[in-house]
Amino acid sequence: MNPIFLEPLQVDRLNIKIRNLPESLAGIKLVQMSDFHYDGYCLTPEFLEEAISISNGENPDLVLLTGDYVTDDPTPIHDLASRIKYLRSRHGVYACLGNHDNYYSQGRADITKALTKVNVQVLWNEIAKPFGEQFPLVGLADFWSGEFSPKKILEQIDPHTPRLVLSHNPDTAALLKNWRVDLQLSGHTHGGQITIPGYRPVPILIQELGQSIPKPLRGWIPFLKECSQVVRHWEWSQGHHEVGSNQLYVNRGLGTYFPGRLFCPPELTVITLERYR
């Protein structure tokens, strides 16, 4: 079913301070894109090409993709990959996978193979070092995959070393508080898709209504169950957050679901890293 509400792409820019970031990396620019759900309808080829053109125009040091490249069928990954291959950055393009990338038994393998063919390095509980030993990049398995394993990965890194973490589902930030995560990049929520101006995303309102109503009656609240199954922490559904001593940024994504987006535009994020002691 095609979405009813579609909105223009929005470029969100922010500066994020990283403790003990090496002086040589101060000012590096990251571009994040997430939740493509590429099928030609919810995310058209023309829209994707616009996002790629904007990203390339930023001359980023690193491009980071945070999951859900497809929705229910992995077949469109080949067309998506043929377009993603035009992404450019000084230190490459890296990706983690999302829950939709694991829906089919061969989905993860097919998506990883297609992205790898176009020089996108997919990280599944792995550490990469595009900037060297002094600022590693960690890509974690999807939270719902049964293979999410931050302990054995993050504890390989010296606790004094700053690091960047890709984890599709922002709920993982609650668990990652046990380790140093200077910046976690996530997606998954689509920002809630519909936002009430001057308030917050609609799923937060639905969640609050549900908590104020007796349990036997909660089943009558539209979308309450669906919203609770997406994430627990809807307060982290978009934007920059502090979670304990860690930082989390949640991208609203490029793609969408029915009924679409309203006051919650698709997002390309440009992040400049700053150093502090």
The pLDDT assigned to 47 comes to 93
The parts of the chain modelled with pLDDT lower than 50 are 217-218, 220-224
The pLDDT assigned to 224 comes to 43
| Spatial CA neighbour of 170 closest among 69, 78, 248 | 248
Cα–Cα distances (Å) from 71 to 40, 68, 111, in that order, read 11, 7, 12
| Domain 10-202+235-276: assigned CATH number | 3.60.21.10
All structural domains of the chain with their residue ranges: 10-202+235-276
Residue 20 Ramachandran class (φ > 0 left, ψ -120 to 50 alpha, else beta):
left
pLDDT tens digit sequence for 137-188 = 999 999 999 999 999 999 999 999 999 999 999 999 999 999 999 999 999 9
pLDDT tens digit sequence for 89-113 = 999 999 999 999 998 878 899 999 9
The pLDDT assigned to 212 comes to 58
Q: Is the dihedral angle over the CA atoms 226, 229, 230, 236 positive or is it negative?
A: positive
The pLDDT assigned to 1 comes to 58
The pLDDT assigned to 32 comes to 98
| Spatial CA neighbour of 119 closest among 84, 158, 90 | 84
The pLDDT assigned to 219 comes to 52
The pLDDT assigned to 105 comes to 78
